[in-house]
Amino acid sequence: MVKYEMKEADVDPTVHTNISTSTSGNGSGLTVNLKVYIDPTNNSYAGARWEINERGSGYRDTDTVSIPATGDFPGLNNIDIVTDFSEFVSEPWPEGKNLNPFDAITDYYQYDAERSSHQDGPEHEIVYVNEQSSTTKSPSYEFEQAGIANVALRLSSSKEWNSFSQFSAYIKEGIKVENIAKGRPADLPIFGPTNLFPEIVYALLTDRKFGLADLVGVPSVDKDRMVIAAKFCEANEFYWDGVITDKQNIREFIYQNAIFNLLDFTILGGKFSLFPSVPFDSSSFEILKEQRPTVKALFTDGNTRNLKVSFLAPEERQNFIGTVYFRKEIPNGFSETMSKTFAIDTDDENIIVEKFPVEVFDMSDFCTNENHAEAFLKHALKIREKVDHGIKFETTPQSALGLKPGDYIRFISEATHTSRFENGVISPDGVVQSVGNNSLNNVNIYHWKPGTQEVGEAVLNVENGRTTNANLYGSVFTVKQTTESNRLYKTESITYTDEGLIEVSASHAPLLSDGTLATINYSDTDFRPL
């Protein structure tokens, strides 16, 4: 038995390019590229291949196209090609019988009996798209241009990949906002990601893409106070590393988070602002525990009315065991929630700290700094221990001139102290008017003149009902007594009444014997870790 196998011979053809053709019809311009194969055994024509080079024009069905013979080989003749495609064309519709000749492209029904193949569903469906592209650099999608944030995910398809229900990403930088804490001039702002809460708030109130620029905007924000707040947070390592995923009530959001950063949220003259709620260094912006607060105004029975003193409920004055949660970051991994627990330490054997109620502060959504969480918790414990009441009173616009929420004031009144204080006012022409004693002379006093920034001390000398010290004209004063207990208050709100007076609400700011704030001037030994 002999086995025969057909194989394609490895023969190099003779190539002829741009060969002109002839036709039996009216067409012209057709040229082809021709490959002629020669049998090497007898040097005779074996076959040819051609491909269209130029299509030409004017050619019709049934035209014969001839490719001329090229070369002098036995058996080589012209190649005739007949363009007859009639067998692929169905019989046309009888005239007048095709009622809707363009139904395939118009997607329109003339009769109720008509039914399309795609009426109940698509005829075609894209089930898979695969695209790979190589690039030497990452694509740039600037938020300022596109208005969107982008996260790219690259997956390689495999037989094992059958679901994709969860996606986790570690984002190291957020959207770019104006970095107001960088100290640039107003006409040369710098932009970049931030984790300073005042810069985040400033962007939320002023940005047009994602903020409230149309409702609030730059004119309604006190940028100078915002800058101070941002530098305060940066100096004390108070960072806000969180994500805003849902719509928020902007006022509630700012107020709640400002507390965690030891900031006051205020509206001054119709302008939103944040400002440190504790004493700080004006150059380094670090918290100064041993700094005496600056008293901005003095209020007595002589320039106030309708004083109301409100004490906190017993449960609101109860010391507690505080637990604060924060987040320990693992770059490119999953974070871990950590906690710290403290209570006010006491030497009283009758007080069992372990029986204090427990209060929890969850800062894990944004706090990644252990020192930040601890500073807030200790401040909250001291506030609970020391602050027990607040006051509300009415005064004249002149007496509250220049006073802002967050400022410290001294209030001395018979209604708030067990001992009787001698208070009064000095008229612009020097006449002394005192409550309880109109024969004052050579006494030490606290005094404050509306429009000034601080409460001063002086000696009051009186002759014939007038003071001899012209610097005291137009002042409010109270006699300084050796048995006096310091009564300092921090203003919370300042509003106008219906009668045109100023209503001031303030909370008690207790002082230590050296004049520093008891709520901030503490040591680590004041707390017991649990």
Q: What is the pLDDT along the chain (530 residues), one digit of tens a residue?
A: 555 565 556 777 888 888 888 888 888 888 888 888 887 777 777 788 888 888 888 888 778 888 887 766 666 677 877 766 555 556 667 777 776 766 666 666 677 777 777 777 777 788 777 766 676 666 665 555 555 666 677 766 666 667 777 778 888 888 888 898 886 555 677 888 899 999 999 999 998 888 888 888 888 999 999 999 999 999 999 999 988 888 888 889 999 999 999 999 988 888 899 999 999 998 999 999 998 888 898 888 888 888 888 888 877 888 889 999 999 988 888 889 999 999 988 876 667 788 888 999 999 999 999 999 999 999 999 998 888 889 999 998 888 888 888 899 988 876 544 344 577 888 888 888 875 555 677 888 888 888 787 888 888 888 888 888 888 888 888 877 654 445 889 999 898 888 889 999 999 998 888 889 988 988 888 898 88
DSSP-based three-state secondary structure for 77: coil
> Which of 88, 121, 153 lies at the terminal end of a domain, its last residue?
88
Write the single-letter amino acid at 451. Answer: G
Q: Are 253 and 212 in contact (CB under 8 A)?
A: no
Write the single-letter amino acid at 341. Answer: T
Per-residue model confidence (pLDDT) at position 221: 92
> Which of 384, 400, 416 lies at the terminal end of a domain, its last residue?
384
Same domain, 373 and 397: no
Domain assignment present for residue 345? The answer is: yes
Domain assignment present for residue 164? The answer is: no
Neighbours of 223 (CB within 10 A): 15
Per-residue model confidence (pLDDT) at position 143: 52
Domain assignment present for residue 222? The answer is: yes
Domain assignment present for residue 26? The answer is: yes
Same domain, 216 and 271: yes
Please give the model's pTM, rounded to 2 decimal places: 0.61
Same domain, 188 and 275: yes
Same domain, 279 and 353: no
Domain assignment present for residue 98? The answer is: no
Same domain, 431 and 449: yes
Same domain, 490 and 425: yes
Same domain, 394 and 417: yes
Domain assignment present for residue 144? The answer is: no
> Which of 339, 356, 384 lies at the terminal end of a domain, its last residue?
384
The span from the CA of 450 to the CA of 476, in Å, is: 8
Q: Are 110 and 100 in contact (CB under 8 A)?
A: yes
Same domain, 268 and 201: yes
The span from the CA of 407 to the CA of 328, in Å, is: 36
Per-residue model confidence (pLDDT) at position 164: 72
Per-residue model confidence (pLDDT) at position 420: 46
Structure-token pair, residue 135: 């690039």
Same domain, 282 and 197: yes
Same domain, 406 and 372: no
Domain assignment present for residue 493? The answer is: yes
Same domain, 363 and 395: no
Q: Note down the domain range covering 66.
A: 14-88
Number of domains within the chain? 4
Where is 350: in which H helix or E strand?
none
Domain assignment present for residue 129? The answer is: no
Same domain, 368 and 398: no
